[in-house]
Structure 1
Amino acid sequence: MDIIQIVPRLPPAIDGLGDYALNLARQLHNDFNLKTHFAIGDAAWTGNTQIEDFLINSVTERSATALLSLLPSESATILLHYVGYGYAKRGCPTWLIEGLERWKRNTPNSHLITMFHEVYASGKLPWTSSFWLSDWQKKLAARLSQISDRCLTSNQNYAEVLYQLNQGKHTRIPILPVFSNVGEPKQVPRLTERSRRLVVFGSPSIRKRAYRQSLKELSQVCRLFDIQEIFDIGAPTGLVLSSIQGIPIIETGKLSAPEISEILLNSFAGFFDYYLEYLAKSGIFAAYCAHGMLTVSPRVYASLQDGIEPGKHYWFLSDRITEITDFVEAQAIASHAYTWYQSHNLSVQAQNFFTHGLGNVCTKIG
């Protein structure tokens, strides 16, 4: 049985969403014999026409007609990985929605499963494009949810928005926090067995934010946990990084998933400066959790969100912390985060995608 996964980009492009889709394709094939054909939604993407056993086709331009040329005219199952900015510069991929609407009309027995990795932007500053385009992004997301046979998302906030947008069509929207794109070790060492190393991992913009907005907190964390070195993992930030409070920063640049996994598995802590109410959609947080690290945030989000509890699943700085912290507590947090992650790891996610959409529809058309 075959499915089509639509994604903005795949490797060699550095794109977390592409890595997510490729890892999911591998697991679906291994566990359920579902073979993926990829349709790329970025006309500028360059890469091979095949990765492993998965065939790849790319749109020649961002238009409904170009998209339809990649999709079968007979019954099929599509899994769309949706984030507006992945398919259009301003986050309004009208061409994508129109193409899928036409495809659904022309192939009435086909099925569209949409994973909303994002729904729409909500900019509050009038000089940003998201401020002016938010309503149009919302309308496109509503249209997409209406034509989708099943909707899934990565966090509770997005699910609540989708319930409002779909006007009662979808009464149950499964929530699947993202998995680690850089491996899932079956066994992880305790913190006391690891190098006293802290990792800052992610896209250049996310790492820049950590250094620019949370440098004070990052310095405190290094002091409290007696960190001896900082590994900066990812494409160059453009910042001049050498050391923090005398602690050397090693810029690794871009690394392969196995190389990143090896570093994380022997590192004490992972630092992230992310929007805590959306932590379940962070591949960085997922990677830290999957490798049994102490996950560290410069701030705290007061309420429980997606099963993530501050002080239980991630460590945060507070005014009361002035001395070396309790390493028993640190290990407990790392262990809780690792356990939380196992409830939605890659194997569990493949099962969920199969159960909540792909299995039923593929059985009908297979």
Structure 2
Amino acid sequence: MTDHSSVLLQCLRERDMRVERYSVPDRHAAREVPVVPGDIWILQVSIYGFDRKGVPLWLPAFIKRAKRRGLKLIVYFHELWVLVAPRLSSAYWLAPLQKGICEQLVELADYAFFNTDFTHAWGVTKIGERAIYSPTFSNVGEPGQVKTWNERADTAVVFGSEHARRQVYEQMAPVLAAQLAGNVIERVVDIGAKGAWLDEVAKVLGPERFDIAGSLAASEVSARLGNAKWGLFNTPWGQASKSGVFAAYATHGMAPVSIFDDVGAYPVPTHYPLPDTHFVRRSSFGATARELDELSKAIGQRAFAEHVRSNQLVEKILEVTS
């Protein structure tokens, strides 16, 4: 969410907008935010960002008081209430309270943006056309033009946090090894913080065809993605559109590859992204070289064309606040 805010601020400033960012992890920090009549607030909501248990009961009241003084409110919902949690966990039992807070926030919003099919559909039931669908954008660059499919190397990239990358390899190492052995793909590139655990991955894939790039600057990540064909991601289907990693792959013309072959406990995507339309299913990634290349080329072109960029979000913000 911090990266999302940074890119959004930069884009708004490029439009000569005067913008400031305030971090409000609790009610005490909220007291430092100036309430100026006529200002527009863009509230970035991840329910755990305002309270350790994800139950910031103070937040709707704070927003309500500010709105009474003439503020306009835009809410970008990164997360709503917890959808999937063990029954014995506090998250499961607190979810109804979280939902109530989200309902109050969306009803206070002049406009609200949502990054998944499910959350957007929920928003429409609450505020109608003032609910706007806008998947998470890439924070490592959004090239306006990218290499054609045939200009790219037959490379698969694994990018993201350590947890995300570990999960990718746990699920996909045998498939990647088989595709490397069959020369369907030529190389796997790992981008992210290095760790000794990657040595075990190298043993499975073959060190000569496994490139551990480490943590890179955004421009370097962008260059690597722009030259590769596939990017593996670990976000469940119904949540993929809120993934910055998925967004990075899509906006660099790659074919995102899911490590799952079902949606699990999450809502089924109905609009974007769809399996074997905007991303490659795990089972499809095991296809022959020709089949995979043809499918992936179409997916890469489609995802590149359809994924929302940061400037499109800014355009919409400027439109609804003018």
TM-score bucket of the superposed structures, by smaller chain: 0.7 to 0.9
CA distance 1:208–1:85, change in 2 (3 Å): farther
Are 2:230 and 1:230 equivalent residues in the alignment?
Answer: no
Please give the alpha-carbon distance, in whole angstroms, between the structure 2 residues aligned to 1:217 and 1:90: 38
1:9-38 residue CA offsets vs partner (Å, 9 max, x unmatched): xxxxxxxx122122122222223x222100
Residue 127 of structure 1 and its aligned partner are, at CA, apart by 2.9
- Following superposition, the deviation at residue 221 of structure 1 comes to 4.7
Match of 1:274 in 2: 235
* C-alpha distance 217-158 of structure 1, shift in aligned 2 (>3 A): farther
- Per-residue CA shift, 1:243-298, capped at 9, x if unaligned? 13325433333322111101111122111121111222111111111111122123
Which of the residues 19, 28, 35 maps onto 2:3? 19
1:308 counterpart (273, 286, 299): 273
Which residue number in structure 1 is paired with residue 19 of structure 2? 36
Letter in 2 for 1:338: F
1:188 partner SS? coil
Q: Is the 8 A contact 1:205 1:237 kept in 2?
A: no
SS at match of 2:144: coil
CA distance in 2, matches of 1:185, 1:114: 27
Task: Name the structure with the higher helix share.
Answer: 2
Residue 328 (str. 1) matches residue 294 (str. 2): yes
Task: Rate the CA distance shift 1:313–1:67 in 2: closer, same or farther, 3 A.
Answer: same
SS in 1 for 2:112: strand
Higher share in strand? 1
**In structure 2, what is the equivalent of residue 157 of structure 1?**
118
SS in structure 2 at match of 1:90: coil
Report the CA distance shift for 1:140/1:221 in structure 2 as closer, same or farther (over 3 A): farther
What SS does the aligned partner of 2:67 have? helix
The alpha-carbon distance between structure 1 residues 339 and 224, as it changes in their structure 2 partners (threshold 3 A), is: farther
The amino acid across from 1:305 in the alignment is T
Q: 1:299 to 1:189 in 2, by over 3 A?
A: same
State which of 280, 304, 314 in structure 2 corresponds to 1:338: 304
The residue type equivalent to 2:220 in the other structure is: E
Question: With structure 1 as the length reference, what TM-score do the two structures score?
Answer: 0.77
Please tell me whether the aligned partners of residues 110 and 130 of structure 2 are also in contact (alpha carbons under 8 angstroms): no
Contact 1:200-1:207 within 8 A present in 2 as well: yes
Q: Residue 51 of structure 2 aligns to which amino acid in structure 1?
A: A
Q: CA RMSD in A?
A: 2.5
SS at match of 2:76: strand
TM-score, structure 2 normalization: 0.87
Unaligned runs of 5+ in 2: none
What is the one-letter code of the residue matched to 2:95? S
**C-alpha distance in 2, partners of 1:137/1:188?**
41
Q: Counterpart of 1:101 in structure 2: which amino acid?
A: K
Compared with structure 1, are the counterparts of its residues 217 and 135 closer, same or farther at alpha carbon in structure 2 (3 Å cutoff)?
farther
Looking at structure 2, the residues matched to 178 and 221 of structure 1 have their Cα atoms a distance apart, in angstroms, of 30
Give the equivalent residue in structure 2 for 1:289: 250
1:115–1:230 Cα change, 3 Å: same
Where 1:216 maps in the other structure, the secondary structure is helix
- Structure 2 match to 1:57: none
User: In structure 2, do the counterparts of structure 1 residues 121 and 225 end up closer, same or farther at CA, with 3 Å as the change threshold?
Assistant: farther
State the alpha-carbon separation in 2 of the partners of residues 224 and 300 from structure 1.
Answer: 22
Change (3 A) 1:68 1:100: farther
Cα deviation code 1:73-104 (max 9, x no counterpart): 43321000101122222222233333223322
Contact persistence 1:178–1:282 (CA under 8 A): yes
Are 1:190 and 2:148 counterparts?
yes
Query: d(CA) in 2 for partners of 1:121 and 1:320?
Result: 31
For the residue of structure 2 that corresponds to 1:314, the secondary structure is coil
The one-letter amino acid paired with 1:203 is S
With over 3 angstroms needed to count, the CA separation of the structure-2 counterparts of 1:170 and 1:313, relative to structure 1, is closer
| Equivalent position of 1:9 in the other structure | none
Give the direction of change, closer, same or farther, for the CA distance of 1:18–1:224 in structure 2 (3 Å limit).
farther
Following superposition, the deviation at residue 236 of structure 1 comes to: 4.5
Percentage of identical aligned residues: 26
Separation in structure 1 between the aligned mates of residue 2 and residue 242 of structure 2, nearest angstrom: 14
**In 2, are the aligned partners of 1:293 and 1:334 still within 8 Å (CA)?**
yes
| 8 A Cα contact 2:191 2:214, kept in partner | yes
Paired with 1:240 and 1:220, the residues of 2 have a C-alpha distance of: 18
Query: What SS is found at the alignment partner of 1:311?
Result: coil
The separation in 1 between residues aligned to 2:239 and 2:54, in whole angstroms, is 19
Letter in 2 for 1:233: I
Q: Distance in 2 between matches of 1:93 and 1:224?
A: 52
Matched, 1:104 2:67: yes
**C-alpha distance 87-233 of structure 1, shift in aligned 2 (>3 A):** farther
Is the partner of 2:143 in helix, strand or coil? coil
Count of residue pairs the alignment pairs up: 314
Asked whether the equivalents of residues 233 and 245 of structure 2 are also in contact (C-alpha less than 8 Å), the reply is yes
Instruction: Structure 1: state its 5+ residue gaps.
Output: 1-16, 43-61, 361-366
CA shift at 1:329, angstroms? Answer: 3.2
Question: Residue 97 of structure 1 aligns to which amino acid in structure 2?
Answer: P
